Amino acid sequence: MKKEINVSPESVASNKIEAAEPTQKTTSFSEEDRCEGEVERDLTDALHQSELSLQGTLPSNTVPYNCNSEYFKLLRFGVDSLYLSYQGELFPEVKERLTKLKQLAQHPEADQQAQAQYAIAGHIFEVKDKGSSIFPYVMEDGAFRISLSRTSKKTPMAYVKLSSRYLCSILPVEAEKHLREILRELGTLDSSTHVSRIDLCADFVSHENMESWGREAWITRGKKIDAHAVNEKFTGWSIGLGGKISCRLYNKLLEIHTSGRTDLVPLWKETGWQEDEPVWRVEFQLMRDVLAEHGLISLDSVLANLNGLWSYASTEWLRLTLPNPDDQTRSRWPIHPLWGYISSIDWETDFNTLSRSFKATRLPEDKRILSLGVSSLASFMAKYGITDFDEGLDRFLLALHQYLCDRGEFDGLSGEACLLEKVRLRGKEYNTISNLNEADQKRLEIEKAAKDYRKASEGE
């Protein structure tokens, strides 16, 4: 069911970042001006706004977006990706276990590799065979990619990426709460959660020709402005890639055909999307440096200032304008009507719907798996000149069974065991099958009970 948004101008007149600096006045556009796309900013205003941002207080350009029309329809907005760091220290027994699991992941035998798993708090993490000098241990599933340090005197104990798909199913605060429960099973945590990077995105419908303007229409502090195309079809813009802030405006429908993010489709439909409508995404990536410049270090402070961050990124750092060749002062060029809608999104409204079907797995699409099977079957039939489907399928399955038996005999296994070995390996990769044997399970239960007792005795 389509959601209606009714926001009064007074309720969104102020959306600045709540830093430790003196409060500054904010600017806001009237709804009529924004809807008509006739907002202009003169040079004096631009200089004044820049001074405010340098002082650490970000001005707001947020106004109601309840004038959705055929030109612009907001579908959803939210935190797309989140990178967090935690100070602390791994438990010795956890470090020892991770070392052994990493060695298993590096083992030449598939049955040993399949056991490189860490089951905890309802997750079956794959333990990677490689890490880095700073974070040698890496474990991942569909919700988290957790990088752990061997020693945390100078580096964080954990550096974690929360997946975009997971953040479509749960609020960032709740996601971090669950993550913290996992990390507390791995080591001691010393301080609050720090944000290393946050990506903010908004999905919308617009029939605006996104290729109709040139690079000069973008007024930005970023250094790079690039237009992108695939097979000569325009796909979007990127601004400032590689910098402390960057932005992407791109065709999300085209992108999900490649990424397989079909979980977004039902969320769009709940807010009024029709299947014949184009969907675009605008996404800002903000790194730790720019967050720290404005006194935003902890997750709580960042999430409390999403409106200010969006306003800063979409009005101070970047603007899309309607170039006026008769005016050489670019700061006076009027805002493009599309950007008026985008920059006015109010992050304090409860607008988004959450996915109810998330599982912490990393699964390929059935279409991809089956297409590989069809390709193999077609190649087999063509090789032997078979054009009858039933005959081709029967002979292919017989040949496949013989291949498994021959391969298993070479490895000292039955054909069934040879196949199951590969299934377990894929199960580790997809986070769907636990390959721990009964002895390992019993040992882990004993270790967990001992750890819980220690925490209880210490009053945690």
Q: Which residues of 340-370 are buried (b: 16+ CB within 10 A; e: fewer)?
A: bbbbbbbbebebbbeeeebebbbeeeeeeee
| C-alpha to C-alpha distance for 346 and 15, rounded to whole angstroms | 8
- Strand blocks (E) in 207-244: 218-220, 225-230, 233-239
Listed in sequence order, the residues at least 6 apart from 387 whose beta carbon sits closer than 8 Å to its beta carbon are 381
- E strand intervals along 331-392: none
Per-residue pLDDT reduced to its tens digit, 180-200: 999 999 999 987 899 999 999
Predicted confidence (pLDDT) at residue 446 exceeds the cutoff of 60: no
* pLDDT at residue 211, rounded to an integer: 95
* Angstrom distances, CA of residue 346 to CA of 19, 52, 111: 19, 21, 52
347-367 tens-digit pLDDT: 988 666 666 677 778 888 888
Rounded-to-10 torsion of CA 347, 360, 184, 104: -140
Instruction: Please report the pLDDT score of residue 70 as a whole number.
Output: 81
Q: Which residue has the higher pLDDT, 246 or 440?
A: 246
DSSP 321: B
- Distance (Å, rounded) from C-alpha 299 to C-alpha 130? 29
Residue 227 pLDDT greater than 70, yes or no: yes
For residue range 107-131, what is the model confidence (pLDDT) as tens digits?
Answer: 998 889 999 999 999 999 999 999 9
**What's the chain's Rg over C-alpha atoms?**
26
Q: What is the model's pLDDT at position 431? A: 86
Q: Give the pLDDT mean for 234-247.
A: 96
User: pLDDT band for position 38 (50/70/90)?
Assistant: very low
pLDDT at 45 over 60: no
**Amino acid 378: pLDDT:** 94
Amino acid at 7: V
Which phi and psi angles does 282 have, rounded to 5°?
Answer: -110, 130
How many of the other CB atoms lie within 10 Å of CB of 263? 15
CA distance 174 to 231: 41
